[in-house]
Amino acid sequence: MANVFTSTDNPQHKTILFIISGGVSAYRVLDLIRTFKKDGVYCPAILTKGAQEFITPLSVSALSGAPVYTDLFSLKDEQEMGHIRLSREADLIVIVPASADMIARTAHGMADDLASAVLLAADKPVICCPAMNPQMWTNAATQENIATLSRRGIDIIQPDHGEVACGETGQGRLPSVEALYKTINKSLNLTQHKPLSGYKALVTAGPTYEKIDPVRFIGNRSSGKQGYAIAAALAQYGADVTLVSGPTAIPCPQNVKRVDLESATDMLSAVEQNLPCDIAVFTAAVCDWRVSDVSEKKLKKRDDHTPPHITFSENPDILKTIATHKTKRPRLVIGFAAETDNIQEHAQEKLIRKGCDMLIANQVGHDKCTFGNDHNDVYFLTPDTDSENWGYKPKHEIADMLVCKVIEHLEKHEAINHTGANITKLEA
């Protein structure tokens, strides 16, 4: 399938309003604007006072060929409420670089300069690209402000690790222009075209914890990162997503409804309660067994030093239960398989045995792909095509690739229409 989001099919006459705040990396936004301008995107900009210490309004407008605004009270047509109009006429607003101060002021709803007033009045998707000193980035104040923005639906492009302008090393660098372009361009296209809108999706993620007694449990090392990335990508493409999650330390992605639980049996009930759905992705690392006789009291060491005897019962296979469901099988069921050896062979067998339409297999126990890593190295399998190796990639890219496969499948089998609404009806 052709990539749905290449620059060549970026529709013309789209507008990105760039909000440039103070930071050494402000000069790199010039290249970003140049790239979007080449695509035919209209790129007006707002420069904060801080940004003007690094770049000039003239350099930005010379490159963009579009107006650059700096002052809340000097917009020519303030009688038309210029700061409101700037947001209304944009398809997307991008804060880049977003300084710690800009982030804090946005989180607190300030409106005492043009940039903050526009953001407060914004009715369009906003992407925030933080860039700052690593200590400023990791400071709890910044992290709390970022979490606030994220909760309110602002997309955060995480800063890169590396050396920053002041010579310190850590997370805080503005990502490359190429990486920013890719992410922003995808969101720009999705502002008008959400191929999965009207579809209901369910994703399981994270580990399950199986109780031994009130304080102990058996679990596994799954971080939930891959499942959360898939839930985020499905939501970005317009699906109505429920994320059924075991214990993780990651925030719920935007526009996703999360159901938290611990055990495999609770995960199965939560999944069943959220049927019917169109797309189900089973990313969770579910414990195969649970403790048969969970102790109501904390188990004590014994005087004779013998360890407790724990017996296990097999947990339900959630994926298989749903994939073979007689009345409520989702249209598309996707499984995962973590294998230590003969990955393709075992994955192919699992795909068929569990009744999935697609399966993603990854090798565990080798150096690059440990649990909790931001990257994964996977094979993609379906019952009737050769397996594909997708290579070593960030988990969010793998999530995007999987969602493209989902869209391709729905286009082929269900006549998804690209006006954004599916023509099949969800069962009652």
**Residues 236 to 265 in contact with ligand C5P, rule: CB under 6 A:** 264
**Do 89 and 15 form a contact (C-beta atoms < 8 A)?**
yes
**C-alpha of 19 from chain center:** 23
Nearer to ligand C5P, 54 or 371 (CB): 371
| Binding-site string for ligand C5P from residue 265 to residue 304, where x marks contact by CB under 6 A and - marks none | -----------------xxx-x-x----------------
Binding flag, residue 337, ligand C5P (CB under 6 A): yes
**Smallest distance, Å, CB 145 to ligand C5P?**
35
Annotated catalytic residues are 166
- Tokens 């994320």 label which residue? 243
C-beta of 359: minimal distance to ligand C5P in Å? 8
* Minimum distance, C-beta of residue 28 to ligand C5P, in the bound complex (Å): 40
Q: Which of 137, 336, 379, 380 binds ligand C5P (CB under 6 A)?
A: 336
Quote the distance between the C-alpha of residue 284 and its chain's center. 16
| Binding segment (CB under 6 A) for ligand C5P, from list 14-22, 119-127, 316-324, 414-422 | 316-324
Q: Are 116 and 74 in contact (CB under 8 A)?
A: no
**Under 8 Å between Cβ of 239 and 196:** yes
Q: CB nearer to ligand C5P: give 184 or 261.
A: 261
Which of 239, 335, 376, 395 lies at the binding interface for ligand C5P (CB under 6 A)?
A: 335
Contact window for ligand C5P (CB under 6 A) among 190-198, 310-318, 362-370, 386-394: 310-318
CA pair distance 21, 43, nearest whole angstrom: 16
Instruction: Please state the closest distance from residue 258 (CB atom) to ligand C5P, in A.
Output: 17
**Which residue in the set 315, 363, 376, 422 belongs to the binding site for ligand C5P (CB under 6 A)?**
315
- Are the C-beta atoms of 7 and 84 separated by less than 8 Å? no
Q: Is 206 in the site for ligand C5P (CB under 6 A)?
A: no
Count of CB atoms situated within 10 Å of the CB of 373: 16
CB closer to ligand C5P, 197 vs 321: 321
3-state secondary structure of 251: coil
Nearest to 196 by CA among 229, 231, 225: 231
Distance CA 125, CA 128 (A): 10
Nearer to ligand C5P, 239 or 347 (CB): 347
Instruction: Tell me the helices (H) and strands (E) count for the chain, helix number first.
Output: 13, 20
Least distance in Å: CB of 275 to ligand C5P?
Answer: 14
Token pair in block for residue 213: 């007694």
State the burial class of residue 86 (Cβ atoms within 10 Å of its Cβ: 0-12, 13-18, 19+): buried
Using CB under 6 A as the binding rule, whether residue 318 contacts ligand C5P is answered as: yes
Q: Which is nearer to ligand C5P, 116 or 248 (CB)?
A: 248
The piece of 120-128, 133-141, 177-185, 335-343 that touches ligand C5P (CB under 6 A) is 335-343
Contact 232, 399 (CB under 8 A): yes
Where is 393: in which H helix or E strand? strand 385-394
**Rounded to the nearest 10 degrees, how much is the dihedral formed by the CA atoms of 122, 127, 132, 134?**
130
Nearest residue (CB) to ligand C5P, 238 versus 246: 246
- Which residue type is seen at 263? S
Residue 287 — left, alpha, or beta (φ > 0 → left; ψ -120 to 50 → alpha)?
beta
Identify the residue whose tokens are 């990105």. Answer: 16
Kindly tell me which of 21 and 263 has the beta carbon lying closer to ligand C5P: 263
Q: Do residues 219 and 208 make contact, with C-beta atoms less than 8 angstroms apart? A: yes
Among residue numbers 119 through 178, which ones bind ligand C5P (CB under 6 A)?
A: none
| Residue 381 is a binding residue for ligand C5P (CB under 6 A) | no
Instruction: CB nearer to ligand C5P: give 317 or 400.
Output: 317
Q: Which of residues 339-358 bind ligand C5P (CB under 6 A)?
A: 350
Q: Answer yes or no whether residue 86 interacts with ligand C5P by CB under 6 A.
A: no
* E strand intervals along 135-278: 155-156, 160-163, 169-173, 200-205, 210-211, 217-218, 240-245, 256-260
CA torsion sign, 128 to 134 to 138 to 139? negative
CB of 424 to ligand C5P, least distance (A): 24
- How many chain residues touch ligand C5P (CB under 6 A)? 15
Token pair for residue 227? Answer: 């499942």
CB of 297 to ligand C5P, least distance (A): 28
Rounded to a whole number of angstroms, the minimum distance from the CB of residue 150 to ligand C5P is 26
Closest contact distance (angstroms) between CB of 132 and ligand C5P is 38
Q: Which residues bind ligand C5P (CB under 6 A)?
A: 204, 264, 282-284, 286, 288, 315, 317-319, 335-337, 350
